[in-house]
C-alpha cells in the first residue's frame, strides 16, 4: 500500500509499504501515484515526459507484500 508522510519542513515522502507488516518496500515519486481521471484538461506526464494513462493505481501498489510476508 502507499504511505504518505509529510515532515515538519513540509517535505512529502511517498513510499510503498507492506500491507502486512508495514515495512518499507520502495520509495515512490508523485508521478508513481498520479492517475488520469480523464477530466483533466492537461494529461499528466511521468518523469520521462510520457503521458500517464492509467485511471487507477496498479494492484501492485494497492496491495503490496514484502519479501518476508509473501
Ligand atoms: Zn511484510
> How much is the pLDDT for 8?
87
3 CA → ligand 1 middle, Å:
14
What grid cell was written down for 32? 508513481
> What is the pTM (predicted TM-score) of this model?
0.79
Residues with CB under 5 A from ligand 1 (ion): 18, 20-21, 23, 66, 68-69
pLDDT digits (tens, 9 = 90+) for 19-57: 999 999 999 998 999 999 888 788 999 989 999 999 999
What grid cell was written down for 67? 519479501
Helix, strand, coil abundance in the chain, percent, nearest 5:
10, 25, 65
53 CA → ligand 1 middle, Å:
30
Residue-range domain boundaries for the chain: 2-62
Contacts of 24 (CB under 8 A, 6+ apart): 15, 16, 17, 18
29 CA → ligand 1 middle, Å:
21
Most distant CA atoms of the chain, gap in Å: 42
Cα separations in angstroms, 8 against 5, 13, 15, 16, 20: 10, 12, 17, 21, 27
> How much is the pLDDT for 10?
84
Amino acid at each position: 500500500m502507499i504511505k504518505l508522510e509529510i515532515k515538519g519542513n513540509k517535505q512529502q515522502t511517498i513510499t510503498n509499504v507492506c500491507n502486512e507488516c508495514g515495512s518499507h518496500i520502495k520509495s515512490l515519486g508523485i508521478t508513481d501515484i498520479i492517475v488520469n481521471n480523464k477530466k483533466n484538461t492537461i494529461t499528466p506526464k511521468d518523469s520521462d515526459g510520457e503521458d500517464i494513462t492509467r485511471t487507477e493505481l496498479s494492484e501492485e501498489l494497492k496491495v503490496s507484500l514484502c519479501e518476508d510476508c509473501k
